[in-house]
Structure formats: structure tokens, C-alpha cells
Amino acid sequence: MLPFLIAPSILSANFAFLGQEVDKVIQAGADLIHFDVMDNHYVPNLTIGPLVCKSLVDYGVSKPIDVHLMVEPVDQMIESFASAGANRISFHPEATRHVDRSLQLITDNGCEAGLVINPATSLDCLEHVMDKLDFVLLMSVNPGFGGQQFIPHTLDKIRLVKQRIQESGKQIRIEIDGGVKVDNIRSIAEAGADTFVAGSAIFNQPDYKHVIDQMRAELSK
């Protein structure tokens, strides 16, 4: 089994102190820094771009940066984020004309590649690209905002993705994004996920380490 990774989403951090927020969450035990990029086009919200990613890299972030692109089109942003120092990049298949090409572009730029599946998106888009994937990012909320409720049928989808990965014989991570909390992380892991994005659950609490410790305790039960 792949080791569990906890990926705090800086969408819920205080942007006035972003470097310090990232330092704090890494000291609290984060494995990845989840970086949500929204363009007010693919999703109805606007966040941060490659410039902010580069600033964090130059500032000295010691954990991999996990860029979740909610933008359309995607290819230019893949190149910009790779140049800015991102380590993992994922995008939504609806947002690009050529999914295979966009995945290849991520790999060619030296990053790990992921495809993001929305709550109402079928898993069929995975079928012909399994050999190009390092991870599948399953949305457990509709993309665009932090602080939403986990959609329960995602658990069935995780099991289906897990089955497909096992059949493929590849080592592909399953990352879950949206509404992940201390009280549901165990059931998400039991369904087959190994990477957990959590924004509001961590950043809306005063003690990030306490939340991450509680998550790890649930995962090791």
C-alpha cells in the first residue's frame, strides 16, 4: 500500500501571510502543498497563478507543490506552472481538447501528472490514459470553492477507480479533494484513497498540527 499523504489546500490560508502559512502547515506535518488555480471561466472563482507559485518556491517551500488547475484552456498553464517550480500538476479533462497531449506535456515538463474527475464526470475518461497517470484526483465537491460538504457517493467512485488501477497493474495514487475532515478521512481511506486534500478543516482551526495529528490517528486505526 502507498503511504498516506496529507495535502493542505492553501485556498483556505490567509493570503496576507502565505509564506508563513505554508511554513506553519509544513511544520504541522503536511506532505504536499495543494495549490488551487481558478480562472473565473472554468470555475466561478478566481485565485492565484504561476507568479505566486514561483514566489513560494523562491521563498523555500520544502514540500512538493501540488497544482490543481481549474482553468480552461490548460496547456499554457501547465508550462507556466512547471517553470514556476510545481511538482505535480492536474487538470480537468473537460477543460482541454487533447487530454493525452496535456498529460504528456506535464510529464515532459518534469512533473507528476493527474487527471481530475468532477462529481458528475464518468470514469470513462481514464480508460485510454492510464499509462500516462501518476495520480487520479477525485473531486468530492463541485470545484470552485473551499468549505463545501463531502458528497457521499464519492466513496463508491473511489472504489471503482481503485479497481481500475488494480486491473491496470500500475502504481497510480488516488487523491480526494473537497470536504475532507477528521471525521470522514478514515472512511475515505478505507474506500481506497491514499492522498487527502483538506483546506477548511485545517486552516479554519487555530492549531494545524492538532488537526493533522488527528487525521493521521484516524488513518492509522
- 21 or 177, CB closer to Zn ion? 177
Q: 146 or 192: whose CB is closer to Zn ion?
A: 146
29 has binding-site annotation: no
Q: Which long-range contacts (CB under 8 A, 24 or more apart) does 193-196 make?
A: 193/138, 193/158, 194/1, 194/2, 194/3, 194/4, 194/5, 195/4, 195/5, 195/7, 195/32, 195/135, 196/4, 196/5, 196/6, 196/7
Cβ pair 5, 195 in contact under 8 A: yes
Task: Give the residue closest to ligand DX5 by C-beta.
Answer: 199
Contact 144, 43 (CB under 8 A): yes
The nearest distance, CB 23 to ligand DX5, in angstroms, is 19
Q: How far is the CB of 129 from Zn ion (least distance, A)?
A: 20
φ, ψ dihedrals at 174, nearest 5°: -115, 115
Q: Which of 23, 36, 39, 66 is catalytic?
A: 36
Q: Which of residues 2-31 bind ligand DX5 (CB under 6 A)?
A: 9, 11-12
Residue 214, interface with ligand DX5 (CB under 6 A)? no
In the annotation, is 177 catalytic?
yes
Upstream peptide bond of 143 is cis (omega within 30 degrees of 0)? no
Nearest-CB residue to Zn ion?
A: 68
- In which residue are the cell numbers 473537460 written? 94
Of the residues 31, 177, 207, 213, only one is catalytic, namely 177
Site membership for ligand DX5, residue 177 (CB under 6 A): yes
Q: Is 31 a catalytic residue?
A: no
Residue 68 and residue 33: Cα distance in Å, rounded?
10
Quote the cell numbers at residue 216.
493521521
Residues lying near Zn ion in the complex (CB under 5 A) are found at 36, 68, 177
Site for ligand DX5, residues 178 to 207, rule: CB under 6 A: 178-180, 197-201
Beta bridge partners of 34: 9, 66
Pick what 147 binds: Zn ion, ligand DX5, none; C-beta below 5 to 8 Å, kind-dependent. Answer: ligand DX5
Interacting residues with ligand DX5 (CB under 6 A): 9, 11-12, 34, 36, 68, 141, 143-148, 177-180, 197-201
Annotation: binding site: 9, 34, 36, 68, 144-147, 177-179, 199-200
Active site residues: 36, 177
